[in-house]
Amino acid sequence: MKESIVLVTGANKGIGYGIAKHLGLSGWKVIVGARNEQRAEKAIAGLKAQSVDVRGWVNIELKDLGTIETTAHEIARNHPGLSLLVNNAGIPGDMSVDSEHTEISTLRETLDVNFIGTFALTKALLPLLAKNGGRIINITVPSEVSPFWHPLAYVASKAAQNAMTGVMAIEFEQSGTPVETYSVHPGPTTTDLNGNMSLPGFHDIDTVGKKFAELVNDGLCHQGEFIELYPIVKED
């Protein structure tokens, strides 16, 4: 019987932790992707305390392409049954400035991590995922610019990631590659990335993680879709 093994990047905290927790509670075997061993081990202890089957952690440093290749080989060797990649890890860029005051270095760094790094990891794991008839789910935000929240570096990096998802979905269908990929927008969520912002319409990581797990386990094909768990709505 095929195992359900998932790698969640950035699973040591925030939305990634909530996703790892609720996928684990629904029967998935979890690999924690993180940049720091101490934080990864702390997350693993928390997940195991809630009866999640954690298969260990791997070093995911999205700005280091050499490390990504090494990690992909490690996963293929130690977790050959991997069938789901959740690309959750990312950096915010400088969300405190408008586009006029966004530094080129900030824009480049955010794109390197959120788009280039995510693409590199996806590409490196694609042969294994195809072998297992797997899925790639990218945690993202809408490409359409919102008047309520629009940090340039972050939104631009996620727009590029959304384009990646759409292109790959079409190519998988055209080539008959047995991989499904789609994007998920969690909606406003209280996390470190936004300074633990909590406003009307925001959700906590458990609420988001539970709904995400329900989506993953719904038995439907979502190839190429952009799914909003909790859309951004304007408060009256």
Q: In sequence order, which ranges of 1-103 are alpha helices (DSSP H)?
A: 14-25, 37-49, 65-78
pLDDT at 236: 41
Sign of dihedral through CA atoms 129, 130, 135, 138? positive
Tokens of residue 224, six digits: 């190429």
The answer to whether 112 touches 159, Cβ cutoff 8 Å, is no
pLDDT-flagged residues of the chain (< 50): 235-236
pLDDT at 181: 98
pLDDT at 120: 98
Other Cβ atoms less than 10 A from the Cβ of 34: the count is 26
Contacts of 61 (CB under 8 A, 6+ apart): 35, 67, 68
pLDDT at 235: 46
Sign of dihedral through CA atoms 96, 102, 106, 111? positive
